[in-house]
Structure 1
């Protein structure tokens, strides 16, 4: 599997490339946003490590472009310390995860492996179509159909929807969802879960303030319910 590393700092690229290749992956590199997009469109990467601050097109713009052109390659975004709004914006645009600089090379590899494990697991469940309320979920297409209309998702949005639907009726804590969907075996940031739940509600709920499908269980987490019950 090949990983695309996108960063304009040569020292960081060298560090990432050494550790990612040491973990058994092939790598490719790009030093700016435009080259990253060209390479992502031309090649089939397993994952993209994408720095937020890039010359020309920044990481957010690259992420937005790829997702709007139906490129669902998983994205691990690198952000500056304290750039909270940028982190959230990246997740909203379809990034799968983020790491804050400075980071441990071991953590980068751990995050890459976590994302790829989830991707592989979902691909292995392609035949398990789920139906809840008037939503039918098709894992093989990363898609759901509601009232005859197709709804498309980013990869991580879909994984969260699929997991909630598989465990419909159960209250799932943010930590449970973080472990199950993001496959973290270390302490993560549960705001990632909240951002993705919000995005899902925008796509499947009629009224996001009074959701019928994804309920917030105060102090506990979230629960998927059949809207027809």
Structure 2
């Protein structure tokens, strides 16, 4: 898949390296070096993917992500950060990023992440336009919509992919590595903590009490599962 990729990175040498790798794979890459330019260029070009450095002058990457997420869905966002504390990473994913890479990183690994994110955004064939039901949770794959009862829930592409993988097999327990494989395709490129952070964000959106989840639950020592707290189970139209 050839894509239009916006690279927002204040280190011009690093941005140039990323551009070369992207163009080597047939993508069109546009580079900007501050947060204001990233917002303006994203609005102009409507990229297929945003590679976003957190530490940028003016408006930082977290605010860029927050602003663009409100007006541009779905936009896959890959965050680059030298601030790799858990709080920073959780904040980035919570604002709508789909994946992150801590600096310094391998350009080849970066391209693997790019391929995975772009593959997830390709148009789905008709047979995957199924509507999944688990209790009050409804996932319309064709429309990329999630509702709990009648309440719409906005999900990032990564969050949506996790919900689809789990809701297709309610009550099945998925390990973190299985979710990485199902959602990202390269379980060696992303980390188990990425899955944990997406699950935490999903609980904030889906659960009445995120600290005591009843739909997206943890099976300790194994992983996660989606279940209907009322004991009902539906799958399909």
Match of 2:39 among 29, 37, 40: 37
Aligned pairs (5 A) from 1:42-57: 42-57=44-59
SS in structure 2 opposite 1:28?
strand
Aligned equivalents of 1:122 and 1:172: distance in 2? 23
SS in structure 1 opposite 2:213?
coil
Instruction: Answer whether contact 1:117 1:183 (CA < 8 A) is retained.
Output: no
Aligned pairs (5 A) from 1:189-200: 189-200=191-202
Q: Pick closer, same or farther for the CA change 1:58–1:168 going to 2, 3 Å.
A: same
Residue equivalent to 1:176: 178
Match of 2:67 among 65, 68, 73: 65
Size of the aligned set, in residue pairs, is 229
Return the offset for 1:147: 2.2
Aligned pairs (5 A) from 1:101-180: 101-120=103-122, 127-180=129-182
Return the offset for 1:71: 3.4
Instruction: Answer whether contact 1:3 1:26 (CA < 8 A) is retained.
Output: yes
TM normalised by structure 2 equals 0.90
Instruction: Answer whether contact 2:78 2:99 (CA < 8 A) is retained.
Output: yes
Alpha-carbon displacement from aligned partner over 1:92-140 (angstroms, at most 9, x marks no partner)? 1110111111111111111100111222275766521111101221123
Aligned equivalents of 1:106 and 1:140: distance in 2? 32
- Structure 1: unaligned runs, 5 residues or longer: none
Aligned pairs (5 A) from 1:78-97: 78-80=80-82, 82-97=84-99
SS in structure 2 opposite 1:49?
strand
Deviates more, 1:106-115 or 1:75-84: 75-84
Return the offset for 1:13: 1.1
Alignment RMSD (CA, Å): 1.8
Residue equivalent to 1:211: 213
TM normalised by structure 1 equals 0.93
Alpha-carbon displacement from aligned partner over 1:180-200 (angstroms, at most 9, x marks no partner)? 112224253211111111111
Aligned equivalents of 1:123 and 1:144: distance in 2? 19
SS in structure 2 opposite 1:77?
strand
